[in-house]
A = this chain, B = another copy of it.
Amino acid sequence: MMARTSNKFNSRLSSVATEMEIVLAQILPEPAGPQSRIMEAMAYALLGGGKRLRPFLLIEAARMLGKETKGIWLAAAALECVHVYSLIHDDLPCMDDDDLRRGKPTVHKAYDEALAVLAGDALLSLAFEILTQNSIHSNADVRIKLIFELASSSGTHGMIGGQVIDIYANLSDQNETLITHLQALKTGALIHFSTTAGGRLAGAGEKDLQNLSTYANALGLAFQIRDDILDVEGDITVMGKRTNKDAGLGKATFVSIYGLEGAKEKAHKLGESAKHALEPYGDKSDILCAAVDFVLNRQK
């Protein structure tokens, strides 16, 4: 049973990633004009890699509620643009200073810093441009709601806020409460958007949105705990990026707070909570529940 779900899950994850690659290539502006270099850098960053976990969650949340439209694929593409923009900027020398991402040179290494800043900026603008399209959802109020939620979950009370805490919080202040809050913003907010946006596009009611929200909050935190575990245990050749960097910087992480086994236990419990939130959907929630196991067991 476990193996069957897992096989089904892997095949779904891989098929969504394949399909997303096509959609992402379609939404990118064609390299044209004397500024074609920026379109090339955007394609370099956006295409050819990544698990596409956030788009997957958006699409599978909509599927769980029984609705799949062209709009969910476009919304998932917009979401991935925001995720990738944040990776490009986080990798900059003035932030994490990473040379490697998804197994290839980061954008500022492959191009230069100016183009990395601008390619990130352009992907953020593009995300909002995509969400205005009529084919996202015929009701403009729904599109407005998605734009609002994407903007706020990427802003100072979401992803950017989390990144700022991560960079500037006093290390001695990094207790469990602060780190949990930091990660809820830095990683959690966009994962939360993923599932609730999928729900909204599938016509979710308030109760559905609450369930998806509970699922996403638990999953997002479990995701980050797994990240911290991989930072210690991970293999750079599997990860495709630098490991041991947080511990190397003397930063507090979930592993430094809970210990390695404690962190695994905490992640497991969060996984159970995430699955529990989707019990009302019975078998229909199989894929999103398998996504929890995937997050808890991933090697990269």
Q: What residues on B are CB-neighbors of A131 within 8 Å?
A: 147
A29 in the interface (beta carbon within 8 A): yes
A89 and B117 in contact, given A124-B125, A126-B151 (Cβ under 8 angstroms): yes
Q: What residues on B are CB-neighbors of A126 within 8 Å?
A: 151, 155-156
- State which size class the interface on A falls in: 35 or more
Which chain A residues (128-144) contact chain B, with CB distance < 8 Å? Answer: 128-129, 131-132, 140-141, 143-144
Q: How far is A148 from B173 in the complex, measured between Cα atoms in Å?
A: 42
Interface of A is mostly: helix
Count this chain's copies in the assembly.
2
Return A39 CB to nearest CB of chain B, in Å.
Answer: 6
A122 in the interface (beta carbon within 8 A): yes
Q: What residues on B are CB-neighbors of A173 within 8 Å?
A: 34
What residue of chain B has the Cβ atom nearest to residue A181's Cβ?
Answer: B34
| B122 x A155 contact (CB < 8 A) | yes
A114 in the interface (beta carbon within 8 A): yes
Q: How far is A173 from B132 in the complex, measured between Cα atoms in Å?
A: 36
Q: How far is A85 from B160 in the complex, measured between Cα atoms in Å?
A: 14
Which residue, A141, A157, A164, A181, has most C-beta atoms of chain B within 10 A? A164
Return A219 CB to nearest CB of chain B, in Å.
Answer: 23
Contact of A151 among B112, B117, B132 (CB under 8 A): B132
Return A188 CB to nearest CB of chain B, in Å.
Answer: 14
A118 in the interface (beta carbon within 8 A): yes
| B167 x A114 contact (CB < 8 A) | yes
Chain A, residues 170-192, CB within 8 Å of chain B (1/0): the string is 00010000100110010000000
A42 in the interface (beta carbon within 8 A): yes
Given A33-B157, A95-B117, A125-B152, output 14 extra A-B contacts at Cβ < 8 Å.
Answer: A34-B173, A35-B156, A35-B160, A35-B161, A38-B161, A94-B114, A94-B117, A115-B167, A120-B121, A122-B156, A125-B151, A128-B147, A129-B148, A140-B143
A residues apposed to B, CB below 8 Å: 29, 33-35, 37-39, 42, 85, 89, 92, 94-95, 112-115, 117-118, 120-122, 124-126, 128-129, 131-132, 140-141, 143-145, 147-148, 151-152, 154-157, 160-165, 167-169, 173, 178, 181-182, 185
